[in-house]
């Protein structure tokens, strides 16, 4: 039994390592494609590793990723203008969404309405029809509550997207559909 557990841990480690390498290659590819490649310097390679770790652990969003790339460019004493910043944001989006797609991770979020009345609207949400979490908007207090989020490494991202969509629908005084599919760039 103990040997089987070791084998599973080794397998999980190798899968995580392969996913990290694939994501690192995505980050590197887009940095080179948009001429943000700073060569083979140790600082540049270290920063690519750091960015990849942040993406892999879901500890970064597109805006933060954009800022990380801008700081990397500035650290290399390169000038950056408004056009460059727009290009950096494009690179950040491509990196973010392609990295999230590596390893078969869903890049969309599905929300299914559970209940709606005068006081609350609630949805289950996740990468597919199966429940990852529950989100509820109190129409009186305008407070959004998220609960039952599983220990999935991507559940935070799903919750963020579901929360933004629910807040947007409320702000726009839109109807709350029975099913919502949120895709990248919504």
3-state SS of 15-62 is: HHHHHHHHHHHHHHHHHHHCCCCCCCCHHHHHHHHHHHHHHHCCCCCH
Which band of pLDDT confidence, cut at 50, 70 and 90, is reported for residue 3?
very low
Q: Which of 172, 179, 20, 160 is nearest to 99 (CA)?
A: 20
Mean per-residue pLDDT of the chain: 77
Which band of pLDDT confidence, cut at 50, 70 and 90, is reported for residue 87?
confident
pLDDT score of 2: 40
> Tell me: the pLDDT tens digits for 128-179?
666 678 999 999 998 999 886 666 666 777 888 888 889 888 888 888 999 8
> Tell me: the pLDDT tens digits for 22-45?
888 888 888 877 766 666 677 778
Which helix H or strand E contains 145, and what residues bound it?
strand 143-147
Higher-confidence position of 119 and 109: 119
pLDDT score of 32: 79
* CA separation for the pair 13, 148 (Å, rounded): 27
> Tell me: the pLDDT tens digits for 57-73?
777 888 888 888 888 77
Scored b (16 or more CB within 10 A) or e, 133-151 reads bbbbbeeeeeebebeebee
pLDDT score of 95: 86
Angle between helices 42-56 and 62-75 (to 10 degrees): 170
pLDDT score of 90: 85
* CA separation for the pair 103, 23 (Å, rounded): 9
* CA separation for the pair 25, 178 (Å, rounded): 39
For residue 115, pLDDT over 90 is answered with yes
Phi, psi values for residue 159, rounded to 5°: -65, -40
pLDDT score of 119: 94
pTM beyond 0.75: no
* CA separation for the pair 134, 125 (Å, rounded): 6
* CA separation for the pair 139, 145 (Å, rounded): 12
């Amino acid at each position: 039994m103990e040997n089987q557990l070791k084998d599973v841990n080794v397998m999980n480690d190798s899968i995580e390592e392969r996913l990290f390498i694939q994501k690192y290659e995505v980050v590197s590819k887009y940095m080179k494609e948009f001429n943000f490649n700073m060569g083979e310097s140790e600082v540049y390679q270290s920063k690519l590793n750091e960015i990849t770790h942040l993406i892999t652990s879901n500890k970064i969003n597109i805006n933060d990723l954009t800022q990380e790339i801008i700081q990397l460019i500035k650290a290399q004493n390169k000038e950056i203008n408004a056009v460059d910043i727009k290009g950096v944001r494009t690179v950040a989006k491509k990196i973010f969404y392609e990295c999230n797609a590596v390893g078969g991770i869903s890049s969309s979020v599905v929300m299914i309405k559970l209940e709606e009345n005068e006081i609350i609207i609630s949805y289950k949400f996740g990468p597919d029809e199966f429940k990852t979490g529950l989100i509820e908007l109190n129409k009186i207090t305008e407070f959004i509550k998220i609960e039952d989020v599983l220990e999935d490494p991507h559940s935070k991202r799903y919750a963020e997207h579901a929360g933004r969509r629910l807040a947007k629908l409320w702000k726009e005084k839109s109807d709350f559909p029975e099913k919502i599919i949120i895709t990248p760039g919504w």
